Amino acid sequence: MNDFDAGDQGPVTSALLGELLGRVDGGICRTLRTGEYLWREGDVADSVALLRAGTLEVVSAGGDGEDAIVLRLLQPGTVLGEIACLDGGGRSADIRAGCPSEVVCYPATLFRTLLRERPRVLEMLLLQQAETVRRLTAQVTQHHRRAITDPLTGLYNLAFFVERLALEIDRAQKTGDPLAVVMLDIDHFKLFNDRYGHQAGNSALVQVSGILRAAGRRGDIIARYGGEEFIALLYGAGADEACRFAERVRSRVQVSDFADDGAQPPRRLTVSAGVACYPSENADPDCLIMEADTQLYRAKEVGRDRVMTACRA
């Protein structure tokens, strides 16, 4: 092997590792036709590959069918397969040639010996992988957040709410804790939209969402139920606390100005709310939501802008 010292040149890049491997004897050249696979997911990681010419594709699934999706393109100078060689695991993805390509494969034993002789390079390589994991974790977190939230209001979406409600009811049954479901609806919202336009209506939905967040406690699950309806899960709250929450929202909405363009006179809205409680009501999630909805419509029927519940304090 020729000597190579990474020194303090910063994180190991694929180009740096490729330069290091390019100085090593023992590599086996391989030419790939377009569409030919270098390796498949799960294959034994017995070598590290250096792409010398052409383009390699990371694809979502093996096989030669049309369902394979290209996830990433690899350019000349890229080194791949190094982590699998270090941890002894199988290949983590399918790799195929996007065009006629040339790779040099180095046996895993040679690669590991190379890194043992250059611990600084090994250290930087691992730091680079750690940074990659952090970046991917952040991306997964961001995508998950998008999947469980309503894009307009930023509140949770109904699917996530229903999932959490089932989990929290199960927890309450085991611990004996109370919980409450509060359903809220903006009164005469269609008239507001018709008079001021949908953009003003969307701004009002966002403003009401902010009032809901401010009125809730840390850990409360507040979601957009659909349209101008909202729903809240208050774990550990009995009837009195749940009604106080709903009343805080109702009173704050009542005095708020929903003119997002500074228009005069102020634009007013009100909300009606219904409260259902466990263990006063059935532990079934659908039954709790239905009872909160029933109480909401009782509030509508007797004049709106009020909170109704059949829960016992």
Q: What is the CATH number of the domain that holds 30?
A: 2.60.120.10
The answer to whether the CB of 203 falls within 8 A of the CB of 216 is no
Kindly report, residue by residue over 259-302, the tens digit of the pLDDT.
Answer: 877 777 889 999 999 999 998 777 889 999 999 999 999 999 99
Q: Is the pLDDT of residue 1 over 90?
A: no
Q: Are residues 282 and 189 in the same domain?
A: yes
pLDDT computed for residue 67 by the predictor: 64
Instruction: Cite the active site residues.
Output: 228
> For 225-252, how does the pLDDT look when each residue is reduced to its tens digit (9 = 90+)?
999 999 999 999 999 999 999 999 999 9
Percent of the chain as helix, strand, coil, to the nearest 5: 40, 25, 35
Which tokens in the block code for residue 24? Answer: 């090593």
Residue 50 has pLDDT above 60, yes or no: yes
Please check the confidence at residue 159 and state whether its pLDDT lies above 50: yes
On whether both 113 and 212 belong to a single domain, the answer is no
Q: How many CB atoms lie within 10 A of CB 174?
A: 8
Are 121 and 173 contained in the same domain?
no
pLDDT at 9 exceeding the cut of 50: no
Domain of residue 212 covers: 158-309
Same domain, 173 and 297: yes
Residue 49 domain flag: yes
Predicted pLDDT of residue 270: 97
Task: Please enumerate, as own/partner, the contacts of 109-117 that have beta carbons within 8 Å and a separation of 24 or more.
Answer: 110/24, 110/26, 111/21, 111/47, 111/48, 111/82, 111/85, 112/85, 112/86, 114/1, 114/20, 114/21, 114/24, 115/86, 117/1
Cα distance between residue 29 and residue 177, in whole Å:
67
Q: What is the DSSP letter of 267?
A: P
Q: Is residue 287 part of a domain?
A: yes
Residue 4 has pLDDT above 50, yes or no: no
- Per-chain mean pLDDT for the chain: 86
**Residue 96 pLDDT level (bands cut at 50, 70, 90):** very high
The mean-pLDDT minimum among 43-57, 101-115, 121-135, 229-243 falls in: 121-135
Which of 105, 120, 143 delimits the end of a domain?
143
Q: Which of 77, 112, 143 is the last residue of a domain?
A: 143
Predicted TM-score (pTM) of this structure: 0.64
Over pLDDT 70: what percentage of the chain? 88
Q: Among the three residues 113, 143, 173, which one is the final residue of a domain in this structure?
A: 143
Please count the structural domains in the chain. 2
Distance between CA 39 and CA 42 in Å, rounded? 9
Distance linking the first and last C-alpha atoms of the chain: 80
pLDDT digits (tens, 9 = 90+) for 183-222: 999 999 999 999 999 999 999 999 999 999 999 999 999 9
Phi, psi of 276 (to 5 degrees): -125, 145
Average pLDDT over residues 134-153: 83
